[in-house]
Structure 1
Amino acid sequence: MKKIVLATALLLATALAARAWLWPADDAGAPAAPGTLNQQQLVARGAYLARAGNCMTCHTVRGGAAYAGGALLQTPFGAVAAPNITSDRQHGIGDWSGDDFWRALHNGKSRDGRLLYPAFPYTSYTRVRREDSDALYAYLQSVPANNRPNTPHALRFPYNTQLALAAWRALYFRPGVYQGDPRHSVEWNRGAYLVQGLGHCSACHSSRNALGGSDGALTGGMIPMLGWYAPSLVTNDEAALGDWPVTQIVQLLQTGVSPRGNTTGPMAAVVRQSLQYLDNTDMQAMAVYLKHLPASAGTVARQPLPAPSAAVKAQLALGEKLYDKHCASCHQADGGGAPAAYPPLAGNRAVTTTSAVNAIRAILNGGFAPATAGNPRPYGMPPFSHALNDAEVAAVATYIRASWGNHAPEVSALEVNRYRNVPLE
């Protein structure tokens, strides 16, 4: 209760003190030059950009009409419902103008002036250029109208108030279109524009504080409510890609598999629903940008692990037996895996992050790379939650994290139990 009161007081005080800059000016931006694209080309361009932004995933309830809204995004503050963004004039955005749409994308404001919740990642989309906003608008106006009424949000007080949201924006949001960096190539800048903007990678790969604020630094963090860890993209012992060939980064993002590892969990869904549809030029640009992120900015030296205790040695012995029985036939006794089928575990930074949650969930729930055009029949790993108890899962995870040159802390049965019944989505 005290935390809520303190949070409310902070929000109110910030709102009163910073009223002059709570609501950024509604910069209409510069519409795309007339005649640059005909309407058919503009709609096609918008459809491509909607794929890049993975818009359909959030704005489509399972089994429902595309973009008709209704999907609930669970947050620590309650549930945010994605709105209908079809061309329906009553419940969708059929009555919106291009300026209205730009205001939502760039400034996080609805047509009626209401401030939008950042579950709609306008903190990233603000970087999108006006011509791309206009293409997205043209595409969404071409989506068949669906009269599905919008589902109301279910947020707790004070997070359900516009005043609290205004204060949050004062603390954590600054609108601004992406500005190219002349120190880098055109290709690098295109990749930065996609990663920072429509790709909204920082929404998962950056940590959040108690109020949901993020610095967007791609230093990794737990994905709220989903129970997955999105690894740091700027830390060498997590998911920094500086030592990867660009071709392998493209392969991972476009197909979900690579010689160094596969995507599973939420990232597999992003590859399946969004990234696989991007053209080779954009995929190459994203790979170049990700490869050249300054890894030193996020590198944190790990403390040496103590010598294993008798209990940990017993856990490692059990883990080795279970690994030989359940895992070695695919991942090999030396942890080397099988190219294009089973990812290597030796030297795989995905299993040695400080938080063992992803390794735990893969053992419990299985690991499934996405089905993509470049890998239409992916190999999968079956779940072992029915075959192994918490202590046994912990033992396998500990063995994997300490073998073949891997060097990460042991896993406890309590950690495993915490994620045993967490929903997959």
Structure 2
Amino acid sequence: MTRRKVSYFYNDEVGGFHYGPQHPMKPHRLRMTHDLVIGYGLYKKLDICRPKKATEEELTRFHSDDYISFLKSVTPDNAEELAHLMTKYNVGEDCPVFSGMFDFSSISAGGSLSAARQINNDETDIAINWAGGLHHAKKCEASGFCYVNDIVLAILELLRFHQRVLYIDIDLHHGDGVKEAFYTTDRVMTVSFHKYGEFFPGTGSVHDIGERAGKRYSVNVPLNDGMDDNSYKSIFVPVIESVIKHYRPEAIVLQCGADSLSGDRLGCFNLTLRGHGQCVEFIKSLGLPLVVLGGGGYTMRNVARVWTWETAILVDSTLPPDIPSNEYYNYFGPDYKLEIQPTSMPNLNTTEYLDKIRAFYSTRVLEQLRHIPHAPSVQVNGLGEPAMLDSDEDDDDTELAKDTRLPMRLLDHLVERDDELDDRP
């Protein structure tokens, strides 16, 4: 089989931004990831590209003009006088104002846009932007540490050349911003595997399936604490196989949030590199044009481990277990190994629960896609205001809980350890 060309987008400025000393989001993890990719020699199999920052015009292809203008103008020095706008745009708590906030967002979005353009121009087969994947940002507001939704922007770019785009999200948190953006179109199908319940952002019910032309094109797979490698594969593969069979996408965007790993500071799953990476490997095996993005992940050393591991998967490489010498070598002690060990936490995703989810999708959602044309006819010139509608599905025949929206500022304090929000690696 011919080796697929893989592009890797990285701007060395991105790791220098800082949300604040007690904030769990650490852009420094991107610099650590890049250094480990270089240390393992993976750069020899990558076409490394430095993307340009996204322009205001590019950002407003999805976001509102006034919101982008605000992001560009607000700074730590003038935040107090712009307090009314900070409330309006949900900036201040989960999404603090920090120095270089707009530049950070522009770098993230620029990498994802560049990745999509290379796919469109047949310049690459797989495009990686670990600085992307910020899936919570909405058209007119920040959310969940995300200011600009680079994923939506990349998908809009892909839609210029591809009739159908599949979005897959393996972050711990529901990909609500992307789902809402494409809620009423059949040209994008969104599939999110996530922790569900009293957990940020509080959305992602199995009944949340899209509206109007987009009905049946939003798939949500709610999962419980303790999800391990085998259980994840047992639900991920059959759901995606059915989606591919019935939807037949022309391109895929895969969000690889690392907060679904064991030991994440805000996490409650128990995946290892292999469990997380097997999703990437399976999607790669489909042979479709592929954009791979980052996302959540709040234990920096593990973020660097898994995204390096998945970079290796995408270039058909096998990595030795010992961490190579690199600038951040001491972060990976005391064992200095690549592997992430699972904990002894119980897996609350019982066989019965996973069987129920698989049955739900085979009988009530994916099965109904058989009756929908494989080539959606809706032409999208502009998606307009993202739809945030509630499904009218009832739950008479299932015990799976319906979506209950929680306040946007809800933090993940229920699963944080007391010692996990400091600046230690």
TM-score scaled by structure 2? 0.27
Larger RCO: Structure 1 or Structure 2 (Cα < 8 Å, ≥ 6 residues apart)? Answer: 2
Larger Rg: 1
